[in-house]
Structure 1
Amino acid sequence: MMPSEIHINHLPGLTWQTTAFESSLNPEKADIWRIKITDFIPYLAILQPLLLPQEIEKVFRYKQESDQHRSLIGKAVLRILLSNYLNVDPKAVQFKSAKNKKPELENNFGRNLHFNISHSGNWVLIAIAATEVGIDVEEMNASFTYQNLLSFSFNLQEIDFIEKSDLPYQTFYQLWTRKESLLKATGKGLVDELSLVPSLTGVHQNPTEIIGSAESWQVLSFPVDENYVGSVAFMPVKTVLAFFDFKL
């Protein structure tokens, strides 16, 4: 049996489609949705009724209004998107926690559908696919003291790559999102041995015990806008990605 691999690459530029999407997914296709928080604040009164009472209660546990908006909009849009793929009413979409609290559908209505969500600052990213998928987005904060995380989170080759890059803090965030998206896809969650999770562009042998999966994976990082970077992890390796801007 051939050892599994992790293929890592970067999309330097991409087109975010604004046209209607096809709701049918197959094992060689994954959809990435981008939601800009500030665009949806005028629609909070429309979106909030899509959440269950316990979800609304959780949203308003956040002390900062910006965190409340981000959580509410993300949950509501996720339910809208999944309801379109499943061809059901949004309120029929229910969630449960799987391994390491990774959210999944309570009822997939006979469809093989997987999703993952991430948010940071003014953006939410949602990935929807026919196989397991993980996504992460980070705002690239130039003032963040990322150096404190290097020895814990990256191996020596990765640290050298970050420190020698033209914009080290941006490279840090790119590699970080690659690791996190992979661990979210496998349901492993952040691990103590984060430095053993590969993040450099290229093909790597899969550290199966670390990431919690013996499958081969593809990890792609991409620009969300000039201040944000995202990464998505999926299988099989030759999966075709489509990128969409969500609009009401």
Structure 2
Amino acid sequence: MMEYNNSESNLFCGSSIIIDRKGEDSYQIHSGIKLYKIELSQYYNITDVLLKTLTPHEVQRAHRYHHIKDSKRFIICRSFLKLLIAQRNDIEISQVYFEKTENHKPYFPLDKTLFFNVSHAGDYAIIAIGNCELGVDIEYIDKHFNYADILPTVFSSEELSFVEMSNFKRQTFYKLWTRKEAIVKATGKGIDDDFSKIPVLDGAHTVPSSLINDFKKINVFSFNLNAYYVGAFAFKGDDIDFKQISFQPLPNIVELESLFKL
């Protein structure tokens, strides 16, 4: 059993609702963090155009996928990520490249104040970009997945009881699961023996600092993308006073084709 030091950290779990702010200024989660939603099927027909933004190594990676859909998803997500970073830093897309930390978390070496994370499931992908450590996870609520088999290995006894007492057990499972995934992606720990020990029920928690990679404060918020997808985003910091999010606008297909053919 892992022994913890005496240091403690704070973890807050809550929920947000998605609002449509078309025609208005987009709502940011808090200063410096933005979320983007990609409906992947809208871009399947222009992956040959998006492929031009990738490095030779990234092109090889895209071609290594056994299924065409997986290859296209990688091309779409990676090209959008590079585009958004280029726009944020006012540089050319060709200047955007990635390296990895010791725990294999990718980063942009030309701007170490920039943090990002990508998650995808089914027909959607979410990109989070900001000025603090962050993580995002989205899952399709799969009615055929037998989640009961993994419950004891990923949830605490309190969380198990919460799922069992819920009127919407499957949705509740995915809500708690995405919170844990977002947290470990933000902290860079990944899924390990401590995964089940990370508390993700609503409210404020005091936890051993080593449980969240010695971060002093992590916030995680759940959201329902629609009736079939649930997500969560986690970030380092003290700002927890919000209940609403809206996704930032993305270039349309015509704009992308014009941009990437230059």
Regarding TM over 0.5, the answer is yes
Aligned pair in 2 of structure 1 residues 100, 208: CA closer, same or farther (>3 Å)?
same
**Any idea what SS the aligned residue of 2:150 has?**
helix
For 1:27 and 1:140, the matched residues in 2 are separated by 28
Offset, 1:146: 0.4
In the other structure, the counterpart of 2:32 is 29
Q: Return the TM-score normalized by structure 1.
A: 0.90
| Cα drift, residue 69 of structure 1 | 1.3
- Per-residue CA deviations over 1:14-65 (Å, capped at 9, x if unaligned) read 125566988xx99733101100100111221220100111111111211111
Instruction: State the 1:106 CA deviation.
Output: 2.0
Letter in 1 for 2:105: K
Query: What amino acid is the match of 1:124?
Result: A
Letter in 1 for 2:62: V
Correspondence for 1:153: 154
Q: How many residues align?
A: 243
What is the letter of the counterpart of residue 12 of structure 2? H
- 1:42 corresponds in structure 2 to 45
Whole-angstrom distance in 2 between the partners of 1:200 and 1:166: 16
Secondary structure of 2:193's aligned partner: coil
Contact 1:133 1:235 in 2 (8 A): yes
Percent identity over the alignment is 30
Q: In the alignment, which residue of structure 1 is the partner of 2:93?
A: 90
- Which sections of structure 1, spanning at least 5 residues, go unmatched? none
Does structure 1 retain, via aligned residues, the 8 Å contact 2:30–2:239? no
In structure 2, the residue matched to 1:173 is 174
Equivalent in the alignment of 1:244 = 248
Measured against aligned partners, the alpha-carbon deviations of 1:103-160 in whole angstroms (never above 9, x if no partner) come to 110211xx72111111111111111111111111111101101011111000011011
Q: What residue number does 1:197 align with? A: 198
Separation in 2 of the partners of 1:115 and 1:9? 21
TM-score, scaled to structure 2: 0.86
Which residue of the partner structure matches residue 14 of structure 1?
Answer: 18
Deviation at 1:99, TM superposition (A): 3.7
The reply on whether 1:107 has 2:110 as its aligned counterpart is yes
Instruction: Give me the whole-angstrom Cα distance separating, in 2, the residues matched to 1:220 and 1:201.
Output: 9
Question: What RMSD in Å do the two structures reach over aligned CA positions?
Answer: 2.3
Whole-Å Cα distance in 2 between the matches of residues 193 and 134 of structure 1? Answer: 17
Q: Where do 5+ consecutive residues of structure 2 fail to align?
A: 1-5, 253-262
Partner of 1:57: 60
Correspondence for 1:73? 76
